[in-house]
Chains A and B, each alone.
Chain A
Amino acid sequence: MYEFLAGLFKWILASLVYFFLFHTIQVIRLTGWYGEKANAYLIANDESKIKYELKGNNVIGRGQGCDIVLNNQFVSLRHAVITKNWQGYYIEDLKSSNGTMVNRRFIKKRKKLKDGDIITIGPIKLTYRS
């Protein structure tokens, strides 16, 4: 009886080992060899699909000094800021005239971003991806 079970499960165990290896390769493909690709970025929700890589500190606005420049008259000069700390990325409104929304809700204080969150800055919609 035991011989039968051990003989049966040796196939399953070998497949499990290679299944594990397959997903290891997948993680390496997605995050890079030592996690160097594990960055977050914003994607514009219009036809252009422009991708903005996020750094440690990203000021979003119309002004030229901003890290992410959105050319629209309803966007304030310095509209919002996305900062990184050890837990992830946080978005904060910089007292803009038209406000910042995350998932169609105006944010009053700092808010943690999740993958797939839709950030609305004036009329422009951006998707947060990590």
Chain B
Amino acid sequence: MTRASRHYKVMLFTLYLFLIICFSLLAIKSDPFDPKPIYMGLGYMAIITIGFITMRIFALNGDAMLFMLSNFLCGIGLVMLYRVDENLAYRQFIWITGGIALFIVITFLFKYYGQVMSNYKLLAFFSLALLAVTIIFGKEHGGSTNWLKIGGIQFQPSEFVKILFCLASASFLKDHKEQKDVIIYTVFVLMVVMLLFIQKDLGMAIIFFLTGMVFVYTATGVVKYPAIGLAMLAIGGGASYFMFSHVRVRFEAWLNPWMDVPGKSYQIVQSLFAIGAGGLFGSGLGLGHPEYIPAVETDLIYSITVEEFGLLVGLAIIIIYLLIFVRAYLSAMASEKTAKQLLLTGISSMLAFQTFIIIGGVTKFIPLTGVTLPFISYGGSSILTSFCFLGIMNSLSIEEVQQQ
């Protein structure tokens, strides 16, 4: 414990040093010298310190690993956002502060999850209702009708539905494992996916479908179900390729981006150029060209990060994501309770699919669909949801240690 605490301190100071160097560079970059980024860096460091002390002292076994890893990702995201657009970074700063507060609250309060998960019908109803309301009153934003505006606050309901969906799935499947229950659950998943499809939010629809598959497999352990799921995904993908023009555009841009560089495949080509221009060690902070990349502050933030920090840091980001997910999976495997296993696997799979879809998308590994990169991309709903998931993970794994 004591030796681990020494390493924790080194991690914390490395993070401080990283943030200070980045924000000082940004301060020097603007001519004349502009102290605002340094203030922001110091503010963020203060928040990290408060959160770190809270986690180390009050979180029972002093486990601050998830907190440190997520804040490292948030730190890189904040630096990149400040470099791309100053005003977005101020708002992101507020969201991250709220997210960390939510993370700490959920870490301590989620042990009462029995009450939350007792009523799966209500949770399922709310997740469907929220999506239906979005279709009726939603605003179009970048091709998808997935924004809701209530009293001046814009948010993306599909992000919050992720939490409701995971809670509903885990609480339903924990004691419903027969074949007829799986069929009922599949109908629920397909309803969610269809509602997202109507909103033209393809990436999110795929994430929900794959997570549903993971939930069913974790609950039943029958290989038949994910096989059927994959077949359904292939049929659905094929059908939507012929039915919707925007799916076809995305798919053709993936097959051969060089056919229509200024038009259909502009995003993916700019992303590839940016990643290629960065090379192994990057062009240096502030020396890249984010102005050429569309949607650089949300979906394609990974490209500009790799361009300016280099491929090595890009790989490190993927390793950090992996550490978060593997940790949740191992904790789920060690657990005895079905509800907890389901929730941990489902949540981490959802975040993992999201990360895979967007990082794979910008590197042209799979067709590009617009979802946010958890913890790094700009977006209040995304940050809050990701921190909420992380809080649930932390709370459940802490509970696991306590019982031993």
Chain A residues with a Cβ under 8 A of chain B: 2-3, 5-7, 9-14, 16-21, 23-24, 26-28, 30-31, 33-36, 38-40, 86, 115-116, 130
Which residues from B are CB-within-8-Å of A3? 284, 287
A-binding residues in B (CB < 8 A): 1-4, 7-8, 10-11, 14-15, 17-18, 21-22, 25, 28-29, 58, 60-63, 65, 68-69, 72, 281-287, 308-310, 312-313, 316, 319-320, 323, 326-327, 330-331, 334, 397-398, 400-401, 404
Task: Give A16 to B60 CA distance when docked, in angstroms.
Answer: 29
16 cross-chain CB contacts under 8 A: A6-B286, A9-B25, A10-B310, A13-B22, A17-B18, A23-B10, A23-B11, A24-B69, A27-B4, A28-B65, A31-B63, A34-B327, A36-B400, A38-B1, A38-B61, A86-B60
Residues of B contacting A26 in the complex (Cβ-Cβ under 8 angstroms): 4, 7
Asked if B14 contacts A19 (CB within 8 A), the reply is yes
Q: How far is the CA of A36 from the CA of B330 in the complex (A)?
A: 11
B residues within 8 A CB of A6?
25, 29, 284-287
Q: How far is the CB of A128 from chain B (nearest CB, A)?
A: 11
| A18–B317 alpha-carbon span in the complex (Å) | 10
- Once the chains bind, are B284 and A27 in contact (CB under 8 Å)? no
In the complex, A23→B72 CA distance in Å? 13
| Given A2-B29, A31-B1, A34-B331, A14 and B313 contact (CB-CB distance below 8 Å) | yes
Contacts of B11 in A (CB 8 A): 20, 23-24, 27
Our pick among B8, B29, B397 for the contact of A27 (Cβ within 8 Å) is: B8
Q: What distance in Å separates the Cβ of A51 from its nearest Cβ neighbour in chain B? A: 15
If A6-B286, A14-B312 are given as contacts, then 5 extra A-B residue pairs at C-beta distance below 8 Å, sorted by A number, are A6-B284, A17-B18, A17-B309, A27-B11, A34-B330
CB distance from B90 to the nearest CB of A (A): 23
Find out whether the CB atom of B327 lies under 8 angstroms from the CB atom of A10: no
Determine whether the beta carbon of B316 is less than 8 Å from that of A18.
Answer: yes
Distance between Cα atoms of A21 and B282 in the complex (Å): 19
Residue of B nearest to A4 (CB): B284
